[in-house]
Chain A
Amino acid sequence: MVAISKIATGNGHGENSPYFDGWKAYETNPFHPTERPDGVIQMGLAENQLCFNLIKKWVLQHPEASLCSAEGVNKFKETALFQDYHGMPEFRQAVAKFMGKVRGDRVNFDPDRIVMSGGATGAHEMVAFCLADPGEAFLVPTPYYPGFDRDLRWRTGVELVPVVCESSNNFKITRNALETAYKKAKEANLRVKGLLITNPSNPLGTILDRETLKSIVKFINEKNIHLIGDEIYAATVFMEPEFVSISEIIDEVECNRDLIHIVYSLSKDMGFPGFRVGIVYSYNDAVVSCARKMSSFGLVSSQTQHLIASMLSDDDFIDNFIVESKEQLFKRHKYFTWSLSQVGIGSLKSNAGLFIWMDLRKLLKEKTLEAEMDLWRVIINEVKLNVSPGSSFHCNEPGWFRVCFANMDDHTMEVALLRIRTFIFRQNEAMVPRKLCTRSSLKLSFSRRRDDFMSPSIMSPHSPLPQSPLVRART
């Protein structure tokens, strides 16, 4: 019997990673404030839900942006027929303008270099198909988004070689790390075709500083390899330092522009993952031309192009949205990280993204992957939070977890924090009798926050609060 392909039956889709296991746990028992208050809270999905009120208001005020309303239906036929893979000019112009605004108008993007794709997922695969042949490799700094394993490798046959970054220097991408990775690829007989960076970083939530960016550009020019800058989180930089895009750096240093490509999407900055708006922006004409042809496999629905063109060209709305969104992200991030610090949980200092890179190394029984997995299973099954273990991001050091904060309302956030506090408290209670001298246990800052500590939300694990999962704890 003739089989189906190896691609179809193999594991290249990457869904056996724990990154997705947590989602499955969430899906079988999702949190709901009234219907399932003990359900799993989703903190593993990097979605931006903080500014939908603004978007909804705009949509109501602009019925012409919908093809189907009385105000917009005169455009229905021509839009429904529009399948040109160049994309609607108004759409490309609006996206180019938006990308410029997000970079403080320090760069101008050429609408003719904008190529559509099926989300950033489709964009990454398309870029891999354009830049590399099967068996060739891209370098990717760790920790990195787990989806890259599928997007860049699965159907393309391209390999990924990690550029290992360490917590000792806040996961900085050093020249040394790049050279080491490049050498390793060579030793494995892999021809390196490019370097993929995500800036702002997922999962770190940090941005690359100017020096690092310049050093990266220098590196790729020397090695004559491509640089793919995934800037999907560009508009989520909510605090200083200001975001610096690859597109700015290439104006400042000598660079072969044929090597430079940007991947973008509206899924994070606008919060529209369902609309599948992915963009490939390349400075290389041959790549633009080829990618455009390939975009046939994942064009943006013209109905969506029409809506987005309308929305993104509303300057006043967009200017306000960008500012508001950053403000909301800043507030949420501040509150979340502060609350965690109150129970002694630290995270990597970050100024962007929809998540924090939480440091739970101190909670590990030992510095191993197994210990990280054990802790993770406790967090999912007992604390009932879906967070993403660092190992699924190929982090070389166990104990780090990515925790998303922008995909829930304030109430859910409070419930999540309560669960975390309760969990930490239990951990402390378990640890204190045995390990005081040999391990630094988590410090609860008693002195300043005594009121908070004594408040109902951080009472003993035997709290009668009905929402506490520990009321029905089995251990």
Chain B
Amino acid sequence: MGLLSRKVTCNSHGQDSSYFLGWQEFEKNPYDEVKNPKGIIQMGLAENQLSFDLLESWLAKNPEAASFKRDGQSIFKELALFQDYHGLPAFKKALVDFMAEIRGNKVTFDANNIVLTAGATSANETLMFCLAEKGDAFLLPTPYYPGFDRDLKWRTGAEIVPIVCTSSNGFKITEPALEEAYHEAQRKNLRVKGVLVTNPSNPLGTTMTRNELHLLINFITDKEIHLISDEIYSGTVFSSPAFVSIMEVLKDMKMENTQEWERVHVVYSLSKDLGLPGFRVGAIYSNDPIVVAAATKMSSFGLVSSQTQSLLSAMLSDKKFTKEYLSKHQKRLRNRRNKLVSGLEKAGISCLDSNAGLFCWVDMRHLLSSNTFEAEMELWKRIVYDIKLNISPGSSCHCTEPGWFRVCFANMSEDALKLAMQRLKSFVGSIAINDLSHQELKKTGRKNRTNWVFRLSFQSFHDREQDER
């Protein structure tokens, strides 16, 4: 007789995924420029570490926000007591204004429609509780963020059915893929409640095209289902095309007074754009007052600390700061991404053309011993244990094609990135080419990558000497 719940004993928390195993390996042997230069470089964590200097300089200029003061008066007590799940009004206003600014002010958001949650992790789970019954399904385009398996399914009992996207068209969402996913759900006797997309995409690093967004809106209209757009990376778009939010498209299609308007919900967070994952600031934005009301009550289980709301309210209300931050930060992301891409190219590795995110979707299909996920795992283990880079295998993101990896670039110093690229280059250079000639890498449009088969010439990681810490 089980004494604990089924949730404890099942695997739906998803932590046995290679996505998390790589992190564990990193933690055992983390790279440090001085103390552990041969350690594992973390490239599996989509963190934004590029612009803390901007945040710190704002803090230095705004001592009141820092010290629980407003107009010279201490507001410590007020904050310590503030547990209203409606959130600090000034913070919500600042947050929706920031969201609008990120979208070039082409859309505005009503502060009354936003619900604050403990990170996007909590926002996504809460939306599931609001929109789906146990056993209902949401359709998600693959590849997708591994954490969704836990966030959307674990405690809610909801199911995920993949919308299969492939490299043949740059992993874009197509109508046949949507329909196929819907039918797959029906074959499994699952009631589809909605579609969840991440835009800009994790792990692809691309923004959705207007065409895709139209497709989605038509699809949810036709099927009368919800659409959740996780826009957590919206502020990381560093090159064209500019970010187009689902809200903008709905507005362009003049759908403000339709039923679909109330079935589109946006998830946001400050973990990626501002690089503050520790502060646990997430949000749900919905045009459906019932969803807003229910989600607001549910947010009791994971409110944002009032101390944090107060600090960020001051920061985000400083429009001069937010404008400067977004512009400088996006430039830095672009530079960093370019460094990664050119480093990969020198190693003969290409990646999906991207314009957003904190990572690249890297094509290592030509390095696989066979076109299988076993080969992908084999390659991944070598990269983690031998080259000592923690990157995320595509299979952990539910990619249907073996050989793709997500490689993060914004969570380390430039020197560490350089070192990582050197290690990768040596690794690739040591591979013996088996009777096949190299095709020159194209700079753009990687649609017709041919799968090359190489025999890996070095010993397996069991035979090699382990580097001492």
Contacts and interface: CB of A to CB of B under 8 A. Distances in A.
Interface in A273-325: 273-276, 284, 286-287, 290, 293-294, 296-304, 307
Interface string B260-293: 0001000000010001111110000000101100
Contacts of A76: 52, 55-56, 59
Interface in B194-245: 194, 224-226
Contact of A302 (B155, B225, B278): B278
A83 B303 CA distance: 16
Contact of A80 (B125, B276, B303, B304): B276
A155 B129 contact: yes
A302 to B, nearest CB: 3
B222 to A, nearest CB: 12
Interface string B13-32: 10100000000000000000
A301 B67 contact: no
Interface stretch (A102-110, A125-133, A169-177, A182-190): A125-133
Given A155-B129, A155-B155, A297-B121, A47 B81 contact: yes
The listed residue with most B CB atoms (<10 A of its CB), out of A118, A119, A224, is A118
B390 interface: no
A79 B129 CA distance: 30
Contact of A56 (B60, B77, B122): B77
Interface in B23-81: 47, 49, 52, 55-56, 59-60, 62-63, 65-68, 74, 76-77, 79-81
B433 interface: no
A274 B297 contact: no
A386 interface: no
Contacts of A6: 133
Contacts, number: 229
Contact of A131 (B4, B81, B224): B4
Interface stretch (B159-167, B306-314, B324-332, B355-363): B306-314
A73 interface: yes
A414 interface: no
A130 B8 CA distance: 6
**Could you say which interface size class chain B belongs to?**
35 or more
B290 A118 contact: no
A68 B66 contact: yes
A13 interface: yes
Main secondary structure of the interface of A (DSSP, over half): helix
Interface in B114-131: 118-119, 121-122, 125, 129-131
Contacts of B67: 59, 63, 66, 68-69
Nearest to A293: B13
A271 B81 contact: yes
Interface string A1-19: 1101111110001010000
B297 A15 contact: yes
B298 interface: yes
Given A4-B130, A5-B130, A66-B66, A56 B304 contact: no
B132 interface: yes
- What is the interface of chain B mostly: helix, strand, loop, or mixed? helix
Size bin of chain A's contact surface? 35 or more
Among B118, B122, B306, residue most surrounded by chain A Cβ atoms (within 10 Å):
B118
B89 to A, nearest CB: 14
Contacts of B278: 79-83, 301-303
A52 interface: yes
B225 A2 contact: yes
Most buried by A among B3, B68, B225: B3
Given A15-B297, A80-B278, A274 B129 contact: no
Given A119-B303, A301-B305, A290 B52 contact: no
Contacts of A150: 297, 300
26 contacts: A2-B193, A2-B225, A4-B130, A7-B294, A13-B297, A56-B76, A59-B76, A66-B68, A76-B56, A81-B47, A82-B277, A83-B278, A122-B300, A132-B5, A134-B134, A155-B298, A224-B3, A296-B119, A297-B121, A301-B278, A302-B279, A302-B280, A303-B305, A303-B307, A303-B308, A304-B305
Given A150-B297, A274-B82, 16 more contacts: A1-B259, A7-B129, A7-B294, A8-B129, A15-B297, A52-B76, A60-B74, A80-B275, A82-B278, A118-B303, A276-B304, A297-B121, A299-B119, A301-B308, A302-B280, A304-B308
Interface of A: 1-2, 4-9, 13, 15, 47, 49, 52, 55-56, 59-60, 63, 66-70, 72-73, 76-77, 79-83, 118-119, 121-122, 125, 129-134, 150-151, 154-155, 193, 224, 226, 258-259, 267, 271-276, 284, 286-287, 290, 293-294, 296-304, 307
Of all A-B residue pairs in the complex, the 8 with the closest CB atoms, nearest first, are A68-B66, A302-B278, A274-B306, A298-B302, A8-B294, A301-B305, A118-B302, A274-B82
